[in-house]
Structure 1
């Protein structure tokens, strides 16, 4: 894919992995739209990334299909095309299954799983026109289960399955579909405050480099499921 002036949309793009990917794509010459639930927060992130000609801040709650439809339409109105989508928005709550609240269960299902469907459903016609790329941000938790992870595991296993099936459905339109499955990443996820203790982890910009590598792949080749983990685990 020739990246210059291509248009990318990243959900949950105001911080963490989403912001790290947006930063790398903007530096590579793409126009980037980022969204989040709070417009002011997204606008602050967008100002750090670039100017209004190259970065667009959008308010969208991915649990609401109408929000994602409106966000995609604003991108099309602003730049006239959409080439790359990263469904990145996600939440995590961790507790033994007998202690997990219904609120936390449904929040994870609605954000992590329903959200990726809403984003794809809203963007798929634009991606058909551009022969674009749809990516989801899953997790190694989408293949490796662990104690207190029943809700999070369920959503990420679901994201992996959804994305792989969507890949088979959409490749006839020359849309490429991949899911990225990181291990430990230095982000604010689960109320973490990234600092030196997280230096051994994958950094958000590393995922940005991975996304760029996927976009630069020859169109005949599709890495459809990518596991990525720290090269050396934390020494405790």
Structure 2
């Protein structure tokens, strides 16, 4: 089993939902964590709730490559290294394709797909240096299409394809790449407010524990694509 104490992880979209849940679990396992988001108030709240000096909160919008470059530079300057990158930032806008606006399409593709590329591109030097791990949070919507999901499906199908191809490109640099494809998760996605009614869903901490398992796995083993569903439906 690989030791992960004192490794450094960067989580985009880390102020709430899945990203925040991952951050909490990694901190419990001794990992130093940087989280990013677009909203300064959300970043301040998340950092306060995580309540440790081993957290760095960075304002960054993954749509903008320069933001991600600056984020990685700040992480390396603060913690001295970057070992794990978790591309989690995502948005959803759902409408039939004939009603889907250009703005909503561009926001989803820019955040969910191009943002994943920006985060990887900005962090590659650190990942190569530290024989790191890159994890994208996709969705079962990246393999199962549905009405009203044309833009979201396109972005998540793209994330799955991108991460799998990148895995082949980067494994000879000793960089592991995995895409995780969750089904229903209790989160704040699309302005949802979690409640007791979400108890049947995957919890953000479950995704965090899955990532811990990946990081602790034998270096010769690579689960490159993981589909995960709730045990039961509501």
What's the TM-score bracket when you normalise by the shorter of the two chains?
over 0.9
Aligned twin of 2:29: 28
How far did 1:39 drift? 2.2
What is the match of residue 159 of structure 2?
Answer: 159
Distance 1:214 1:98 in 2: 41
* Deviation (angstroms), 1:43: 2.0
Q: Root-mean-square deviation (CA), in Å?
A: 0.7
**CA drift at 1:167:** 0.2
Q: Distance in 1 between matches of 2:76 and 2:172?
A: 23
Secondary structure of 1:144's counterpart equals coil
Three-state SS of the structure 2 residue aligned to 1:2 is coil
Which residue does the alignment assign to 2:101? 101
Query: Deviations 1:156-204 (Å, cap 9, x if unpaired)?
Result: 0000000000000000011000000000001111221110111111011
Range with bigger deviation, 202-211 or 43-52: 43-52
> Which deviates the most, 40-49 or 180-189?
40-49
Instruction: Please give the residue correspondences for 1:180-199 in structure 2 after superposition, counting only pairs within 5 Å.
Output: 180-199=180-199
Q: 217-226 vs 185-194, which deviates more?
A: 185-194
Q: Deviations over 1:209-231 (max 9, x none)?
A: 11111111100000000000000
Give the drift of 1:38: 1.4
TM-fit CA distance, 1:40: 2.6
Given the two structures, how large is their TM-score scaled by the length of structure 1? 0.97
Residue of structure 2 in register with 1:11 after alignment = 12
The answer for the alignment partner of 1:141 in structure 2 is 141
Matched, 1:68 2:103: no
Q: 1:42 maps to what in 2?
A: 43
In the alignment, what sits opposite 1:226?
226
- Helix, strand or coil at the partner of 2:92: coil
Q: C-alpha separation between the residues in 2 aligned to 1:50 and 1:208?
A: 18
Q: Which moved more, 1:191-200 or 1:133-142?
A: 191-200
How far apart in 2 are the matches of 1:121 and 1:107? Answer: 19
The count of residues paired between Structure 1 and Structure 2 equals: 233
Describe how 1:56-135 pairs up with structure 2 within 5 A. 56-135=56-135
Moved over 3 A (4+): none
Which moves more between the two structures, 218-227 or 31-40? 31-40
Segments of 5+ residues of structure 2 without an aligned counterpart are: none
Unmatched segments (≥5 aa) in structure 1: none
